[in-house]
Structure 1
Amino acid sequence: MAEPSRTTGHLTRLFTTLRSPFRGLTTPSLPTAVPGDIALVTGATSGIGRATAQTLVGLGFRVIGTSRNPASLRSTADTPDGVTLVPLDLGDPESVAALPGELARVGAGPGQDPVTVLVNNAGESQSGPLEELPGDALDRLFRINVTGQVGVTQHLLPAMREQGRGRIVFVGSMLGSFPLAHRGSYGASKAAVKAFAFSARRELRPFGIGVSVMEPGAIDTGISQRRTVYIDRTGPYAAEFDTMLNRLDANERNGVPAGKVAAVIAEAATTDRPRALYATGSGAAVAYPASRLLPRDVLHGLVARRHGI
């Protein structure tokens, strides 16, 4: 009877030896967001933002959403049910600076209930070849997709630290991990956000704050109608650009619904061990493992082929 015990002891010591180099490196259990907490979702009137706001309302959160101009919404039908809207234009530094006051106006300011969950969703989608991208358009893209989101996060972090818990989810894009020709500016902005998020994840862990990135692939949100496009129709890139854009639009029309992305965002906001990176759509379950195995040129070629170029 002694032999099984001896074997078990050997296995236990082996497991401990293998595990010890990784101790402290994996995600610890963090305080969770719970129903009744305040969640702020930027860009909450359409697409992923709207679906996320509605999902969080359904889970019992008090949801505040942002819109560039809530007063311009055509009817109450344009406002997600159960969501309080405040104005925010990420491309306008003054609007970002005014956000704490807007939150205080609806009961989420100093001395009031703090925002516990932040979903940085609002952004701009941009397409164009490197040579033809206007400098002012690039500046605006990065104000909206990067520095504006960082500014919003900076406003909310002190209260999260003070209460010892919080969740931040940055909505990125698979293009931040899998670059595509003529979408370099957009992919670069999403890669920048991911770098901020991964760095902050380690910085904020001691304060009970979890940070995650959600990278959607092709999602059926109608974003193709809102994408900014920069292309010289008489220039050398026009033909390939149009091929890429047509395939991109088709992929998005056949993409996964925004509600599926929202469900993953809600998981990141409520689980006690939020992952650094979540992804869905565009074969994400295969694409990310493949990216660790395939040569970089082959991977980029597959991304281009998926978009007809």
Structure 2
Amino acid sequence: MSSSSDTTRTVVVTGASSGIGKATAAAFAAQGHKVIGTSRNPDSIAPADRVNGVEYRALDLTDGESIARFAAELGAVDVLVNNAGESQAGPLAELPAAAIERLFQLNVFGAVTLTQAVLPGMRERGYGRIVMVGSMLGSFPMPYRSSYVATKAAVRGFATAARFEESPFGVWITTVEPGQIDTGLAERRTKYLNEGSPHTAEFTKFMSVLDAKMSKGITPQRVAQIIVAAAEAERPKPLYAVGSNAPVMFAVRRILPRTVMERLIAAAHGLKR
């Protein structure tokens, strides 16, 4: 993870109790690094679900005091993987303001605050890697996912801009955008749809297709490999995308007009435009 492949680093992975976070924590721990994995309630993680070599600590990214307490006890951090987050779906017109605010606090503001906490130490030591776990939805927005898409586009924006500021100090910030992943997230996704909504039929159809695609997605371990590779790179790229035919999708996006891409995305999910 530096000029020396056997250097032991301190790695923080948020949302390490399941999915991508758990797989990423396991991948770093397998390389012998000191790994701190966060969870809102570490005591609730069953022994069988814990990863050997990972120290679990409590962190609620929706709670400013929890973030401050966690950051104050961290010490030196070499790698920060901002992975924790939630998924949300529903027509924009029917998303509760409080739900949108909570999603941004968890997916964006918490990650930014934690990043701000570790940056001074990284600059002082002349080394740091920060990985924002985004989503390909940030690059290819879909209907009924506006709030989630906005949070993932926001973390990519923070990372892409701030890397100009921090790279001269040896601190590199990057974004990993996974496509469809089979993590069971569909069951945990919060959905908002008013009774009698004019979007009911289309929303139901869209979510059915989306969930089916997710069940055939790549594994969290595959995403973890990309995250580790990004952290190990001497000069990490601004963006890494994996899954959902990412190379083809990004190539096509460069060629086709945005209106055509919009129609293709709609057609792939059974929607008419």
Corresponding residue of 2:209? 247
2:72 is equivalent to residue 101 of structure 1: yes
| Pairing of 1:104-183 with structure 2 (within 5 A) | 109=75, 114-183=76-145
Q: Which residue of 1 aligns with 2:230?
A: 268
Runs of 4+ deviating beyond 6 Å: 30-33
Contact 1:32 1:272 in 2 (8 A): no
TM-score by length of 2: 0.96
Secondary structure (helix, strand or coil) at the match of 1:115 reads coil
Q: Which runs of 5+ in 1 are unaligned?
A: 1-29, 104-108
Q: Which of residues 21, 40, 63 in structure 2 aligns to 1:92?
A: 63
Q: Report the equivalent of 1:302.
A: 264
Q: 1 CA distance for matches of 2:270 and 2:85?
A: 26
SS of structure 2 residue aligned to 1:162? helix
Write the distance in 2 (CA, Å) between the matches of 1:32 and 1:130.
49
RMSD of aligned Cα (Å): 1.4
2:200 aligned to which of 228, 231, 238:
238
Contact 1:216/1:261, CA 8 A, preserved across alignment: yes
Q: Per the alignment, in what secondary structure is the counterpart of residue 78 of structure 2?
A: strand
User: Identity across aligned pairs (percent)?
Assistant: 51
Matched with 2:33 is 61
Per-residue CA deviations over 1:179-224 (Å, capped at 9, x if unaligned) read: 1000011001100111100011100011101111000000011111
Quote how far apart the aligned CAs of 1:78 are.
2.0
- Alignment partners' CA distance in 1, 2:106 and 2:85: 6
Aligned-partner residue type, residue 54 of structure 1: A
2:266 and 2:7 map into 1 onto residues whose CA distance is: 43
Aligned to 2:47: 76
Given the alignment of the two structures, is residue 190 of structure 1 paired with residue 162 of structure 2, yes or no?
A: no
Tell me which residue corresponds to 1:21. none
Stretches of structure 2 lacking an aligned partner (at least 5 in a row): none
What is the match of residue 4 of structure 1? Answer: none
Amino acid at match of 1:171: V
Are the aligned partners of 1:170 and 1:193 in contact in 2 as well (CA < 8 Å)? yes
Aligned residues: 270
1:61-113 alpha-carbon deviations (Å, 9 max, x no partner): 1100000111122x21122221001111111112111112343xxxxx2xxxx
Q: How far, CA to CA, are the matches of 1:295 and 1:197 in structure 2?
A: 26
Provide closer, same or farther for how the CA distance between residues 172 and 34 of structure 1 changes in structure 2, counting only shifts above 3 A. Answer: farther
* Residues 233 and 307 of structure 1, relative CA distance in 2, 3 Å threshold: farther
* Partner amino acid, structure 2, of 1:101: A
- Alpha-carbon distance between aligned partners in 1 of 2:73 and 2:188, rounded to the nearest angstrom: 26
In structure 2, C-alpha distance between the alignment counterparts of 1:217 and 1:49, rounded to whole Å:
15
- Superposition TM-score, scaled by structure 1 size: 0.85
Aligned equivalents of 1:180, 1:135: Cα separation in 2 = 20
User: In 2, distance between residues paired with 1:181 and 1:116?
Assistant: 37
**1:151 partner SS:** helix
The answer (yes or no) to whether the contact 1:32–1:271 under 8 Å persists in 2 is no
